[in-house]
Every structure is written in C-alpha cells, then in structure tokens.
Amino acid sequence: MHSLKTWSLITATAALLAACGGGESGLASPPNAVALALQSTASTAVDAALCTDNAVATGAYRWVGEQCTLASALLTASAAASTTTTATATKAQASAVSSRATAAAAIDATAFFDWAEGNFPTLFPGHKSNLATGSFAYRYYPETQIALGVSDGKVYGLGPVTGNVLALLGNLSDFTCRVSPSLCAAPGTPSTGAVSTAGVACGYNYSAVNTSTLGALTSTSSWVCNGTARVLAANGVPDHAVGTFPNSNNPNTITVQSVAASYTLAPTYSGTATTMGGAAGTTGYVLNGVKIDAGTAGTCPANASTSSSCSLIGNSGAWSIEALTQTVFKFGADINNAHVQPGGQYHYHGMPEGFITLRGGGPTKMTLIGWAADGFPIYARYGYSVAANASSALKVMTGSYKLKTTISATRPTTTVAPLGTFAQDWEYVAGSGDLDECNGRSGVTPEFPAGTYHYFATDSYPFLQRCVKGTVTTTGGGTPPPRG
C-alpha cells in the first residue's frame, strides 16, 4: 500500500483518486506499455479496510461505488454549486432545501479529457488525441508520463504521481457538473430531467452459502449495467444471518427464487408519487437481491371489535395491518425487520440491519443499500444534515408521517388495535421530518456528488418507502406473490 505521505503529494497536485493494489510500472516506455497497463483494471482492487469510519469522516478516503479510494482535489464541489451566491446558499442550508444535478446528456471521455487539459495543464499539457486499447479510451501525456483513461463509466489515471499504479479517479458521472455546468441544476432547484446512474454499483456480484438459512442455501446476486438498464439476477436468498424460519408466528421457509428485474440507468424525477408494493409491483430491491415490500396482506374488516375477525393473509379487509408499528398481530419478523411470504420469499418491511452491517454502514457515512423501481438509489438511515452540502454533519433521517388525530368512524376499535396498527392510521405531514411522502429527497450523496433524488430506509414510519417519485419503466419480476 502507498503511504499517506505519498498520497498527500498526489492530492496536493490536484491529481487523482487512487486505488491501492497491483499495477504496471515503467511509464517512461512508449505508449504501448501504457496501453497494456491501462487494460488491467483488476489492479485497482482496493483494500476496503482503508475506508474506516474515521478515515471517511476526516476526508482522507471515500467510497466510489464499490471501491475505496482517496479524496481528490479533482472532485470538489460542482461548478453549479460554486456559482450559487452566499445568500442563496445560506437560505438553502437553513431550510434544508435539497438539490440535485441532472444531466440532459452524459459527458463522454473526450469532454472529460478536454476539461482536464484545460484545468490542469501542468499535469496534462497540450491537447492530445484520443487513443484506444481494449475497453479504454485514453490520452497519454509524454511530458509528464501520465495517462488518463475512461472505461465502463469510470475514470482512471496512471503515472508517476500515482506511484505508477493504475488509479481510480471516480465515476465519469462524478465530473458532469465540473465538465459541463450547463447540464446541472443549481442547488435547491428541483429538476425533472434524467440523471445518469451509470457506473455506480454496476459490477455488484455476490455468491456464498448462508448457513443461517434452513438447508444452508447459497445466496446469489448480480447487478449489471448494459448501457441503458441496470439488470438484476438473483435467487432471493439473503446474504446475512436471518432468524429462524419457520417460526411460531411465521410458518414459511426461505426458498430459492428466480429474481429478475431491469431498472433504467437514467431515472427521471416526475414529482408524482406512484404507489408500489404487492400487486402494484415490487418497490425495489436491496443489492443482495432481496425485495422491499413494506406493506402486509394482513387486514381487519371495518368496525372490527375483536382481533379474531382479522386475518394476517388474504388482504380482504378494509384496514391494512402494519408489520412494525404494533404488537397485537405477530408476523414473525427477525432482527432484519424481514420475514417470509407463503411462497418462500424473504423480504424486508424495514431497516435491513444485517445487510447494512455487511456493507460497513454506520453513523460516519451514507450507505447505499439498493435501487428503487424508478432507478433511483436507496440509502440506509444516515444522510447529510444539509441535503446540498456533503461537508455537513450526518444525521439520522426521519420520515414525515404522523399518527392521525381524528379517528375514522369505521376504524376497528382501539381497544383491539391501538392507534398505529393500520396503514390508514398514518398521514404524511410535509415538513414534519426530513423526507417526502415516498421517504425520499434530492441532494448530494457519496456516489452522486453532483446530486440526485434518492430514498432512505428509516427507523420511523414508513420505514421503507411505499411509493416512488420517478417514472417507472421496469421489466421482470413476474406476478407478485401473496404479501406477508
């Protein structure tokens, strides 16, 4: 691994986001040696242990998609953000007005190279022509023996300032607002244009035996980006420890499923809430391929006076029972706020604690846990206290739902079902929490420093979103199974 002293030199020269690992040396050689070195993207494999909570909190390291990297002066605040007046910025921060930068069209490698040459002429002197090797488009600068390359939505560098090790600079989309400010909205300005998610968690792949499941099932999950879509193929078996299934309150056993979904790589914020879940279609998936389905099939009839008139399956009554806000009806959920549907589908009703732990989630970084049906990302628990400012403190995000103060005349008696038992007991109160009615907001995230609309799993109602605010253009998933 490289020393922090070496990396301080790199960042001081406004150079590169680096990934420690193997690589090629000898950049004094002709460009064909550079081409060979650039092709070995496997050399950017990073020791994730470097991204400790403290290292991320102090700004020494940061996550770029699935890779741990060092902070870089290249990845400063977006150009759109820097043009905002102080008064406007202060007002935006005070009211926690969220921001998002949206690209009407993605920048390409040529635009990035031209921008780098114009802004860092000492490192990238002159205007060089594009070269190609394998999947890489790159430019080589013999004066400094540095090469810049773009492949699969990611930007790489190679040269003496990186110790002649292939270094990950970030996702190409990270630079959109710097390279082409006209494509980005200023902070606090909602936009309905598409935002590219290409290059973020596109190579997520997992396969391992989960010994906590009955029969020690193998958990598999793969996410691939194919140019226009983010495609999931999984078997629905969780990758973390689970509770005992079946159990006294849930008679179902986790079984291998055939999970397939395809979400757009260019989600569009519509501003209109579209209800998801159950028969309306899967709300989204956690990266491990386990679905999000916060509602239940449990219901009570209108004016029910006894719990025996209610049912935890069938979805036939008028009043929908919540899984996590009451103790009268038992759904057999485990410590991951999940349980199993009659068809063997393990699914989340709330915070997927085991998965968050596997991802290294905690109070010092935002943790990407999945993707919603509209293509926007989902994070767990923590977000920036000022949505537009990645330097602001992290805080626990809260939903904006409150218990109703007026009880419906047809509601089952509170003697049997205390207030909070049913979905209809809750109402969205704008401004009462941090998030909108779909548990989302616009703002910056580690994976989207220019900003994007995104969702949160929260410890408060609704726990996991019941709707999406983007345009849904999904495929796959088949007929939804009975809810549980």
47 band by pLDDT with thresholds 50, 70 and 90? low
Of 267, 88, 89, 107, nearest in space to 177 by CA: 107
Q: Tell me the per-residue pLDDT of 132-149, one tens digit each, with 9 for 90 and over.
A: 887 889 899 999 888 888
**HEC secondary structure over the chain:** CCCHHHHHHHHHCCCCCCCCCCCCCCCCCCHHHHHHHHCCHHHHCCCHHHCCHHHHHCCCEEEECCEEEECCCCCCCCHHHHCCCHHHHHHHHHCCCCCCCCCCCCCCHHHHHHHHHHHCCCCCCCCCCCEEECCEEEEEECCCCEEEEEECCEEEEECHHHCCCCEEEEEHHHHHHHHCHHHCCCCCCCCCCECCCCCCCCCCEEEEECCCCCCCCEEEEEEEECCCEEEEEECCCCCCCCCCCCECCECCCCCCCCEEEEEECCCEEEEEEEECCHHHCCCEEECCCCEECCCCCCEECCCCCCHHHCECCCCCCCEEECCCCCCCCCCCCCCCCEEECCCCCEEECCCCHHHHHHCCCECCECCEEEEECCCCEEEECEEECCCCCCCCCEEECCCCEEECCCCCCCCCCCCCCCCCCEHHHEEECCCCCCCCCCCEEEECCCCCCCCEEEEEECCCCCCCCCEEEECCCCECCCCCCCCC
Q: Tell me the per-residue pLDDT of 227-255, one tens digit each, with 9 for 90 and over.
A: 899 999 999 999 999 999 999 999 999 99
Residue 121 clears pLDDT 60, i.e. is over it: yes
Q: Which of 11-25, 59-73, 399-413, 414-428 comes out lowest in average pLDDT?
A: 11-25
Cα gap 293→483, rounded to integer Å: 8
Q: Tell me the per-residue pLDDT of 61-85, one tens digit each, with 9 for 90 and over.
A: 656 555 666 554 443 323 222 222 2
Per-residue model confidence (pLDDT) at position 409: 95
Cα gap 257→263, rounded to integer Å: 19
Per-residue model confidence (pLDDT) at position 64: 56
| CB distance 22 to 1 below 8 Å | no
181 band by pLDDT with thresholds 50, 70 and 90? low
Cα distances (Å, whole numbers) of residue 468 to 20, 183, 348, 349, 456: 38, 24, 17, 16, 12
182 band by pLDDT with thresholds 50, 70 and 90? low
| CB distance 224 to 212 below 8 Å | no
Q: Tell me the per-residue pLDDT of 74-115, one tens digit each, with 9 for 90 and over.
A: 433 232 222 222 223 222 332 322 233 333 346 889 988 988
Q: Name the range with the highest mean pLDDT among 13-17, 44-48, 181-185, 237-241.
A: 237-241
Per-residue model confidence (pLDDT) at position 448: 92
Cα gap 241→353, rounded to integer Å: 10
Q: Which of 22-26, 183-187, 257-261, 402-406 comes out lowest in average pLDDT?
A: 22-26
Cα distances (Å, whole numbers) of residue 432 to 231, 243, 395, 461: 36, 34, 15, 12
Q: Tell me the per-residue pLDDT of 389-411, one tens digit each, with 9 for 90 and over.
A: 999 999 999 999 999 999 999 99
Of 281, 216, 267, nearest in space to 242 by CA: 216
Collect all residues with Cβ–Cβ distance below 8 Å to 261 and sequence separation of at least 6. 231, 232, 282, 285, 373, 474, 475, 476, 477
Sign of CA dihedral 70, 74, 80, 84: positive
